[in-house]
Structure 1
Amino acid sequence: MRRSGGTFLDSIKKYIRGYVRIRLESPAPDRFFSLCVHNRIPLRNLTQEASFYEMELSARDFLRLGRFRRKTDARIHILSKNGLPFFLLHARKRKAFFLGIFLGFILLFVCSLRIWDIQITGNRYYTTPVLLDTLSEWDIRCGMAKRNVDCQKLMQKIRQAFPGVVWVSAKLEGTCLIIDIRENDEIPQPTDALADTLTSWDLTAPWNGTVVSIITRMGMPQVKPGDVCKKGDILVSGSVAILDNDSQIQRYEYVRADADIVIKTQFPYYDEFSRTVTVKSYPGEQESYPFFTFFGTDISWYHAPKNNSEIYRIERRLTLTPSFYLPVTVGKIITVPYEKKSYCYTPKESLELSQKHLQNFLKNLVREDALILSRNIRTRLTANRCRSQGYVIIQIPGSEKTPIVRKALPDSTSSVSETN
Structure 2
Amino acid sequence: MRRVCLTLPTHRACTGTITAIAEEAAYGAREFGASVHLLILDSSPAPVLAEHRKAVAVLPGTPGVSVHHLDEGEQRAFLREVATRSAGDAASADRLLELMLPSRVSYGACTNRAFLIAQALGCTSVHRRDSDSRYQYTDGEPVFPLHQELTYLGQRAEDIRKSATRSKLPPGSGDRRVAVAGGSFVGEMSVDVAEIRDLDPDTYGELVGLSLPEGSPEIWRNHLIDASFRGAGNGTFDGDHATLAPISPMRVDMCNVALDHEVYRRVPLPPATDTIGTDYFLLHLTHDARLPGLQHDRHIVNFHTEERRTDAGFLAYQVRFAKFLLAKAYLNAVYARTAATGDTLLDAEGHIRASVVARYVRDSVDLDRTDVARRLDVIDRGYRRLGGRYTAVADTLADRRSRLLDEARDDMADFAHLMDHWEALAGASAEAGLAVTR
TM-score, normalised on structure 2? 0.19
TM-score, normalised on structure 1? 0.20
User: Which one has a bigger Cα radius of gyration?
Assistant: 1
**Bigger relative contact order, structure 1 or 2 (CA pairs below 8 A, ≥6 apart):** 2
